[in-house]
C-alpha cells in the first residue's frame, strides 16, 4: 500500500465523520478536566490536618513520570508517521513502545499514590487530597483506556494490515493519546509546579 492510499483512507468520508465525532468527544473531555482542575484549584489550600502540596510533592519522581509520558507521545507520533508510510511492522513497533511507556506511567502513578497513602495522605484526609486523587485518578484512567484501546487496534492491525478500517482508527487513537499527554502537561504545571510554589 502506498502513502497516498493511507492518506486516502484518512480522507474517506466515514473516516472524516469519525474524526469529527472524536473532536466532539475531546470537547466533552475538556469540559470534564476543566471542572476537575476548577475543583482542585478551589480546594487546594484546604489541607486540614494533612500535608500541603509543597510538603507532599517530590518533583524528581514526578519528572520521571512526565518524561515517560512525553516520550510515549513522541513514539506515538513516530507510529503515525510509519502508518502514513504504510509500514506495518514499524507502526506496530512504535505503537507497542507507546503502550509500554503508558503502562510504565501507570505503574509510576500507582507507586506515587501508594507512597502518599503510606505517609498518611489519603483521599479522605483533606479536600485538597480528595481533589488531587480525583484529578490524577481520572487522568490515569484515561491513560489506561488509551493503552487498552491502542492494544486492541494493534491486534486489528496485525490481522488486517493497514487499510480503510485500521488506518483511521489508529490515527484517532493517536490523537486521543496526544490529548491525554497535553492534560498531563497541564497537571504537571498546575498541580505539581505551582503546588511547590
Helix residue ranges, H only, 44-121: 53-56, 59-84, 88-118
Rounded-to-integer distance, Cα 111 and Cα 6, Å: 40
How high is the pLDDT of residue 17?
Answer: 81
3-state helix, strand, coil in the chain (%, to 5): 85, 0, 15
- Residues 54-67: pLDDT tens digits? 899 989 889 999 99
Inter-residue contact 15 to 168 (CB < 8 Å): yes
**Average of per-residue pLDDT values in the chain:** 92
- Residues 125-138: pLDDT tens digits? 999 999 999 999 99
Rounded-to-integer distance, Cα 118 and Cα 42, Å: 26
Rounded-to-integer distance, Cα 160 and Cα 178, Å: 25
* 77-82, Cβ contacts within 8 angstroms, sequence gap of 24 or more: 77/174, 77/178, 79/170, 79/174, 80/170, 80/171, 80/174
The whole-angstrom distance between residue 166's C-alpha and the CA centroid of its chain comes to 21
Assigned CATH for 3-195: 1.20.120.80
Which pTM value belongs to this model? 0.90
Using DSSP's 3-state secondary structure scheme, residue 2 falls into coil
Q: Which helix (H) or strand (E) holds 167?
A: helix 166-187
Rounded-to-integer distance, Cα 185 and Cα 167, Å: 27
How high is the pLDDT of residue 183?
Answer: 98
Rounded-to-integer distance, Cα 97 and Cα 119, Å: 33
- Residues 84-122: pLDDT tens digits? 999 999 999 999 999 999 999 999 999 999 999 999 999
Amino acid at each position: 500500500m502506498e502513502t497516498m492510499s493511507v492518506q486516502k483512507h484518512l480522507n474517506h468520508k466515514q473516516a472524516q465523520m469519525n474524526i469529527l465525532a472524536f473532536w466532539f468527544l475531546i470537547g466533552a473531555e475538556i469540559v470534564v478536566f476543566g471542572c476537575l482542575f476548577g475543583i482542585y484549584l478551589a480546594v487546594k489550600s484546604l489541607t486540614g490536618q494533612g500535608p500541603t502540596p509543597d510538603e507532599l510533592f517530590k518533583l524528581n519522581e514526578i519528572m520521571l513520570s512526565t518524561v515517560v509520558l512525553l516520550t510515549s507521545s513522541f513514539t506515538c507520533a513516530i507510529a503515525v508517521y510509519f502508518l502514513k508510510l504504510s509500514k506495518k511492522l514499524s507502526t506496530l513497533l512504535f505503537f507497542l513502545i507507546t503502550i509500554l511507556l503508558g503502562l510504565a506511567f501507570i505503574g509510576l502513578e500507582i507507586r506515587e499514590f501508594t507512597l502518599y497513602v503510606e505517609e498518611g495522605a489519603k483521599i479522605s484526609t483533606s479536600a485538597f487530597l480528595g481533589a488531587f486523587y480525583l484529578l490524577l485518578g481520572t487522568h490515569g484512567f484515561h491513560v489506561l483506556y488509551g493503552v487498552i484501546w491502542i492494544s486492541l487496534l494493534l491486534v486489528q492491525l496485525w490481522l488486517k494490515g493497514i487499510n480503510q478500517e485500521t488506518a483511521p482508527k489508529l490515527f484517532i487513537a493517536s490523537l486521543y493519546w496526544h490529548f491525554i499527554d497535553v492534560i498531563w502537561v497541564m497537571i504537571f504545571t498546575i498541580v505539581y509546579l505551582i503546588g511547590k510554589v
